[in-house]
Structure formats: C-alpha cells, structure tokens
Structure 1
Amino acid sequence: MVEQHQQELKKQLWNIANTLRGNMSADDFRDYILGLIFYKYLSDKLNSYADTLLKQDGFSFATIDENTPDGQEILDAVKDETLDNLGYFFKPSELFHVIAERGEAGKFILDDVTKVLNHIEQSTMGAESADDFNGLFDELDLTSNKLGKTPTARNKLIAQVLIHLDNIDFHLENSEIDILGDAYEYLIGMFASGAGKKAGEFYTPQMVSKLLAKLVTLDNPVVKSVYDPTCGSGSLLLRVAKEAQNQDIKYYGQERNPSTYNLARMNMIMHGVHYSRFDIQNDDTLETPLHFDERFDAVVANPPFSADWSASPLHLNNDRFADYGKLAPKGKADFAFVQHMVHQLNDNGTMAVVLPHGVLFRGAAEGHIRQHLIKEKNYLDMVIGLPANIFFGTSIPTCILVLKKRRKAEDNVLFIDASNHFEKGTNNNIMREEDLQRILDAVVKRESIDKFAFVASQKDLGDNDYNLNIPRYVDTFEEEELVDLAKVAKQLVDNDKAMLQTDKTIADFCKELGIDTPFEVKE
C-alpha cells in the first residue's frame, strides 16, 4: 500500500512539474516547484503537530483566531513547542491550504507567499534550528520574469502550482514519513536527468549511490556519522543512512552551490531528519573546509569530475595536503578531493568516492599522490570500474576508489571490472540490481574471478609503477574463435553440390513445361 501510494505521488508530482514549467529550463523550475513542495510539507507537518497538541483542549490549529488575546496566547504556547520539536513556526493564516485557496479564488498571492517564507525563517531566529533554516528560500524569487512577463502571469502560475499541490495527500503520519521524502528525491533525479550536465552535478544515480552506501557500511553497519564534502542535494548522505543500522546517525556535508545547498537542507527535513542531526554548510570545500576538525565513520562523495581549483602553494602548509609533498593539478582537482576525504576519515572508517578513470593512470603530481596513498600510507583497499555513460551529463567511464586507514586486507588491493555489466538506456546506461549484487559478492569474497575481479599484491602494484588502470589487473579480453579452413572448404563444396542439384531440378522442370532452360546445366 505504501509503495503504491509512493508511485502515485511520484507520478502526480512529475505531471505537475512537466505541465507547469512551460518554456522554463528544468534547472530553473526545479528551485520553484521543490521549494513550494517543501512549503506544503512544513505546513502540513506543523498543522498536524499543532492539532495533536491542541486535541485535548478541543481546538484545531487552523481555527484559532489570531486577532484575539486568547488566540494569541494559545499560539504562543504552540510556538514554543513547535520550535523545540519541529524547529520552525508560522500562523494558521499562513498555512499552505489557506494561501492556495486564496489563489484559487483569483486573489493576488505572490506577496503572501513571500511573506510566509520569510516568516518561517524569522521564526527560527535565536532557536537551535536557525542555521538550518537561514536563507532556505533564497532561490524562490517570485518576482522573476522566468515565471512570467507580468505580475499577473506570475501570480497565475504560482497559484496553479499551489492548487495542484494542495490537492495531493502527502500522508505524513507515522511510518509513512519517508514517502514524500523519497518522492522529493525522485523529482530531484528527474530534473537532473532532463537538464544535462549542470543539473546532473547535484545528483548521483540511485544505483551508484546505493553501491557507495553499501561499501562504507559493510564493515561497520552501525556508523554514527556520515560526511559528503560535495553533498549536492544530500541524496547520497540519506542513502548511507538507509544502509546503516543506526537511527541516530548524524549527517555532515558541504556544498558550494547556494541553491543546491538549500535543496540538501530541504531534503534532510523532508526525510524526517531532525535539525539537530544534520550539519550542512555552504562554501567551497577545497578552499574553505568547514568541518576541518571533525572525523567521520563514513565518508562518501561524487565530486565534480576534473574540476578546477586554486592549487595554491599555500595548501602545502595545510594538514590535508602537507604529507604528500605535491598538489593535484589546477585543472584536475580529483585527488585534492581524495586527500580532503582521507583527512576527514576517522581511523576505523571507510571512504568511497566516484572519480573519472584518469585518476587511475595519470602521471606527474597525480602519479606521485597515488603512489603515496598506496606505498607509504597503504590506504587503498579497492578499485571498482563502472560502466560508461551512467551519470547525467557525461559519458566518460568512471571508477570508485575505496580507502581505509586500517585495512583488514593490508597486503593486497581488490580490482573489479564492472564496466560491461549494465542495461542500455535511452540517454544513459543503467546499473541494475543484479549488476550491483555482482560487485558486492566480489567484494565480500575478495578473490580473483575470471574476467571480473583480481586481488593484486603490493608487488603487483609496484611492478606496475602504481598505475591502477584496471585492464592491467583484470583481463577481460575475449579470444575470437579460430576459423577451421578445412571445415569451411568442405561447407563450400557441399553448398556447390546443393546448388547443382537445384539447377538440375529447375532444368528438368523447364523441360517438362516445354520451355528453354534459362542457363546451361553442367554435370
């Protein structure tokens, strides 16, 4: 029943998004519709919680008269409770349903919506939840011409969105809390798949996300903390929590893009994560790390591939990079992210990061860093080659590196070549459950498997000058079947005889009909 409702909700939300966005790019419309869905979530959650508080007094939140002393007294009491438990508050007149009804009646509601969103943020000032709500709705500019050329046109569009969303029952109670959160993630993924590289940067495909999450929880299912230095919309953090056997897991992340940073915080709240259990920050992780002194049980990331960064020599004085003696190139920050993640990993933790294949074999500074991680630190535990074209916006082949500071298999590194195991999709290739399970089975067995996995010794790695290019270790070459010339010659003779027999039959047939044979038949 839950799954059926979830599928129906996903369908409704996507249809609304697809119908209303018109000529606006998916990347632009995303911020509006996801922001307004979040407003409805906060509204329904507040209304339900307040009704529970007021039930024994015979009140319902929506019917409280805000303009009377008694009503105000009740609201003040409700506000204190909701700020402690939900982290925010707004008045009955600001509920989503009330504003949607005004829009449906043809009223101008743009100013009302803007005020409500501001009030939500202002309600948290001085509360513990303030940081998690600060600037949360900054990207919802309801005066933007992207929504329409005139205020009337913009008002009509926003009213339509609110009316459609108001007609959806999000079922927020009890165990179904994640239904809306998962549907919200579904929308994020749909926007990413339809918007190319820019949007794809903030979303990791579900099966890759699931693989990363399983890799970092295999040895420690009760992880207490998970960190993503390029957290995007936060889906990867949430995925790790699903795989972990700890209801009190804490989430940490950093995201450079302001709108995506807001999306990540919304995504946390929509999945029922209490504001005290997540710490998402907005800034450039490599240049301004905001969790520098923290260490985490699980570290995961899908950083932007071969991104630019400053590569300033000053970084060599930083604890994250100093030990290596060299910095990742200015135009390829891949190993800078790896070094940063290693720094944030605790001694018994596991990190898994998605990177372009080039990190496996590129030389110069990258080769130096790679060798240091393997030979001097012995942190590299696994190299997993993924299929090409499984990420939105790029078709390049990718891999996953798994690193641990304390490894059980300290004398070897496991290589897995999963590049040929996928389903071909319309725009992107797709990793299936069976492909994921094949990888995980190989990880658990940790033994060589013909044309799929190889356990490389430290000597193997040294003999290859610490080049990790997977074909050096996993031989997937398929020999072509040798041609039996004698067999082919015999087949040709047999074919000729058959053709001659056919010719005779035709000649006899022509003779019987009393017509000339169209060609000469030789015995």
Structure 2
Amino acid sequence: MTTTAQFEKQTKNLIDDLKSVCANYGLGNDGNEFKIITQVFLYKFLNDKFVHEVKQLDDKIAKADNWEAVLREYNENDYEMLLMSMSESTARLQPKHFISSLFERQNEANFSDIFDNTLLDIAKENSDLFSVLTEGGEKIVLFENISKYVTDKRDDFCKAIINKLINFSFENIFHEKFDFYATIFEYLISDYNTNSGGKYAEYFTPHAVAKIMARCLVAGEVSNVTCYDPSAGSGTLLMNLAHQIGETKCTVYSQDISQKSSNLLRLNLILNDLVHSIPNIVKGNTILEPYHKDKNGRLQQFDYIVSNPPFKLDFSDYVTDLDSKENHERFFAGMPNVPKAKKDSMAIYPLFVQHIMYSLTAKGKAAIVVPTGFITAQSGIERKIREQMVERKMLRGVVSMPSNIFATTGTNVSILFLDKENTKGDIVLMDASKLGTTVKEGKNQKTLLSPEEEDYIIDTFNKHEAKEDFSVVVSYDDIKAKNYSLSAGQYFEVKIEYTDISPKEFEDKMKSFESNLSALFSESKTLEMEIQNNLKGLRYE
C-alpha cells in the first residue's frame, strides 16, 4: 500500500516534471512559468477529482478497465443526471475535457489550440462557482490560453505537458488531510514566492505563525461562522483557520490587491475542500475600495479575521481619497503622513489594523501580524490604536515572535489578538523571542519553531498562564498604568535576591567593601599623578 510519504514524493515529482518541461521550452524561471505550472496542476487535480467522484457514483465505471469508454456511452440526459449528483466542489467536465481524451488527440494538427480550447471551455462551464471576482465585478476564470507563453513549438510543448500528466493520478490522495495539502501547496509555489520590489508580504505566512494564530483564536466547537482576511496572499492563514474550525463549518471571505495572490488562494481553496468560498475571493484594494458589504451597503462584519498585512507600501496616490466622511469611523486614528522621500516606506499596516477592528462582529475575534515596534510606540497612529483596543475592551493578548521568523524580512513581528467578548480583561502578553532554532535559508537567516515550542506558546496563551520571563497576565488598568505598552518585558517582575546573614557577617562585608574602595581610590590617585607627570614631560620635549 502506498504511504502518505510516497504520495507526497510522487506529487512533488509531477511538479518537478512540469517545471522541467517549461525549462526545455525556454520558460525556466520565466515570469509566466508560474501561471503554466499552477494552471496545469489545477487542471490535473480537477480532472482526477471528477473521475474519483464518478467512480463512487457509478459502480460500473469503478469496475471498468476503461472508464472513459463507459462514460462516453452515457446519453446526454444520463450524463446530465450524473453531473447533478456530484458535489458542488467538483468541476463539471465533459468527456472531451478529460486528460485521456487530449492524450488520444495529441498527434492532431494544431494540438496547442485543442489543448488551450479545452482549458478555456472548462473555465467557461464552471465560471459561476470557480471564478474569482475583481472589485469591479469582473470574473477571473479558472484557466487561460497557456500555450501563448511559448514562442516556438507550441504543439510539442502541449504534448510534453499531457504526457507528464497521463502517467500520474491524484485519485489516491483525496483522502489526505490538511497537512498534506499544505506541504504540497508550499512546494508548488516555493519558486514563485517572491514579488518584484518586495512590496507585498510573503505569499504564504510561515506555518508556525499560521498555526499559532488559528489555535489561539478558536477555542472549542464553533459552526456556521465567517472567516475573513483583508490581505489574504495565497491564503495560508485562512486555510489554517478554516481547518481549525472545520472546513464545512465556516465560509471564507478575502480580498487582496494582487491577482497572482488571488489565483493562488483559489488553488488553495480547491485543494482544501473550500470550493464553496471561491465566489467570496476578491481581487482588489481593501483599503481604498473594500468589497464585502451587507445589504445596507455597510462594510460586512466577520466572526474571525486573520491577517498578515503588508507593513510598508507607497499609497500616496490615494491617501487623500481615504480622508472621507464615510471613512472617519473606519480609520478612527487617522492617516499616516506622506514622507517627502522614500514613499515606499509608508506604514500601511495601521490602516489594515483599523479596518479589521471595524470589521469585527459583536463577538468577533482577530489575529494580526504587526511589526513589534507597534506594541510600544509612544505617539502617532499606533499609540491611538492601542488606546482604543484597551478603551473598547477588545484586546485579548500579544505574542512577540523570535526574530527572523520570516526569512524575507529582518523586521521583528508580534501577533496581536483581539476579542470583542474579552470585556473583563485578563490579557496575556508573551515574549517568545528566545524560542526557536536559527537556520540558513538561501542568503537569509530563518528561525524555526519546533512543534513542542509551538504547542508551548499555544497552551500558555490559551490557559492564560503567567510564566517567569515568558508570559504575564494583566488587566486593562495595568496596561493603562504602563502607558498602553503591550510588551511583556515591561510587566515582568524585577528579581531581587535576598541572602540571610548575621550582623557580624554584614559588618565584615561592609569593612571589606570599604577596604576595597580605599585601595581603588589610592590606585586612582597614583595613576592620576603618573599621567600628569607624563603630560609635563611631553610639554618640555
């Protein structure tokens, strides 16, 4: 029997094979390689999932040596009934869409057109459920014409792709769970987890951070809740949160300015059985034009929010547009100043934090990655935001993470936890900065937390435990008394060691100190005389 480790290796081999085909046709490390790899991978996954479900619905197909031939014998009405019986998370395919059908047609003239048109047809027939929206309401469908990225021998390129897909099957891995797909997804996009200019956060947040956020946010059984990320990237935070709640017990919403991120998030949702949430995935500018609104036109509020927003970004082009009457309540702490130079260093994350506070339901909970400087800043927007978190009694805690937990940034980060039901206080402040092991990742240093260290953080936080030099439990009044600082270190007790000694021992110690001081003063005077004599000697030379 094939093990999970073997499935993982086979799946990674397929990804490597597809990258090898791209390299052979001049697309290695090309900006468009990512589009080809992710779309072909998704086509294969949807094809095999369709086959897997059909075999469960029709025993005759499951037992057939040639299931394609049996399916092609279905009349139109029977085939339509079969499609209606399938789960909504399975893409609807026609026999002509199967990879096996393309494999049989690979020697026909203009095969690249046949290949591209197949993908476009699948995208069109499944556009209602599988499309990502733009803020303007346009649909970004599943697939595009991918052979256009190859300048020569397009037919041969598409043949090579089909021949890599035909010898592999996903059918054996549909029973796998979240951790398997998280590993595969990270491997799939690992070569593309960069963005020119470094203007956006990583496409996936480190799993240690995502796991800590999800498990500290969700306590006990919850159901029928909404989850939101206003800067979703590829969705690692949302996937961890949805998995912690239960994929069938929540609906996911997101917005991200990057179309690349939105496409990756859609792929992540499909892999993690969250297809029902794809229509809620929006490509757009959350700060300028937040998309998700209720029937009255007000911004929608959510039960759970997770976010690793970009820390710095040049938004000087539209900062004045944000200063509107309808935004005054959302951005209660105001707008950052626009610097005359280095506009790309404008801090945009405080706007995301304010947006998240505004977007929580009455019982809402949130976890946000922020620069650690945010938790102690004594002026400006950051200070105002922290004051409001305390005054509104919605702060649950802060976990300051080890440095280099993100390999791509030297910025120290903390996780901010909000809970609008935490009105009585009991806030956990934690300094986890000394945990972890430093490893080299490319040119960068990265700190990795062990599973035991992750569990230690989560358990300490959830049990509201105070541990020496690690965590404290404070009240809202305690935080006000410390100038609204959320740094655990400022609340740790100063340790003073006491030693019991007799009066005679005390007197002897004092005499010893006096004797040492006298000797030091005497030595000091001798050195001073030597220096003065040396200076006199220098003057007369």
1:348 positional shift: 1.6
1:267 positional shift: 1.7
> Partner amino acid for 2:458?
L
Residue 434 (structure 2) aligned to one of 410, 420, 423: 420
Cα 1:21–1:418 shift into 2, 3 Å: farther
Query: What is the correspondence of 1:471-482 to structure 2 with a 5 Å cutoff?
Result: 471-474=489-492
1:324 positional shift: 2.1
Identity of paired residues, percent?
21
CA contact (8 A) 2:331 2:355 kept: no
Query: Could you tell me the TM-score, scaled by structure 1's length?
Result: 0.78
Residue 519 of structure 1 corresponds to none
Residue 462 of structure 1 corresponds to 480
Q: State the Cα deviation string for residues 229-266 of structure 1 (Å, max 9, x = none).
A: 11121222121122125633211111211122122112
Residue 303 of structure 2 corresponds to 297
Residue 119 of structure 1 corresponds to 121
CA contact (8 A) 1:226 1:249 kept: yes
Cα 1:476–1:227 shift into 2, 3 Å: farther
CA contact (8 A) 1:223 1:298 kept: no
SS of 2:280's partner is strand
Q: State the Cα deviation string for residues 277-320 of structure 1 (Å, max 9, x = none).
A: 76211111111111233322211111112233333364452367
CA contact (8 A) 1:261 1:281 kept: yes
Q: State the Cα deviation string for residues 44-74 of structure 1 (Å, max 9, x = none).
A: 22233345555559987622697x9x75555
1:93 positional shift: 2.3
1:204 aligns to 2:210 (yes or no): no
Query: What is the correspondence of 1:341-352 to structure 2 with a 5 Å cutoff?
Result: 341-352=356-367
CA contact (8 A) 1:172 1:180 kept: no
1:411 aligns to 2:425 (yes or no): yes
Cα 1:253–1:143 shift into 2, 3 Å: same
Query: Could you tell me the TM-score, scaled by structure 2's length?
Result: 0.75
1:35 aligns to 2:39 (yes or no): yes
> Partner amino acid for 1:334?
Y
1:377 positional shift: 1.3
1:326 aligns to 2:334 (yes or no): yes
1:397 positional shift: 1.0
Aligned residues: 469
Q: Distance in 1 between matches of 2:49 and 2:18?
A: 22
Q: Distance in 2 between matches of 1:311 and 1:289?
A: 15
> Partner amino acid for 2:303?
D
Q: Distance in 2 between matches of 1:439 and 1:110?
A: 53
Q: Which runs of 5+ in 2 are unaligned?
A: 295-299, 339-345, 498-511, 513-541
Moved more, 290-299 or 194-203: 194-203
CA contact (8 A) 1:33 1:161 kept: no
> Partner amino acid for 2:355?
H
RMSD of the alignment, in Å?
Answer: 3.7
Q: Distance in 1 between matches of 2:177 and 2:44?
A: 14
Q: Distance in 2 between matches of 1:223 and 1:238?
A: 16
Q: Distance in 2 between matches of 1:312 and 1:475?
A: 45
CA contact (8 A) 1:388 1:395 kept: yes
Cα 1:288–1:459 shift into 2, 3 Å: same
Q: Distance in 2 between matches of 1:79 and 1:430?
A: 46
SS of 2:176's partner is helix
Residue 98 (structure 1) aligned to one of 93, 101, 117: 101
Query: What is the correspondence of 1:229-240 to structure 2 with a 5 Å cutoff?
Result: 229-240=230-241
1:429 aligns to 2:430 (yes or no): no
Query: What is the correspondence of 1:120-135 to structure 2 with a 5 Å cutoff?
Result: 120-124=122-126, 127=128, 134-135=139-140
Q: Distance in 2 between matches of 1:232 and 1:7?
A: 24
Cα 1:122–1:433 shift into 2, 3 Å: same
1:357 positional shift: 1.7
SS of 1:143's partner is helix
Cα 1:194–1:346 shift into 2, 3 Å: closer
Q: Distance in 2 between matches of 1:172 and 1:476?
A: 58
SS of 1:175's partner is coil
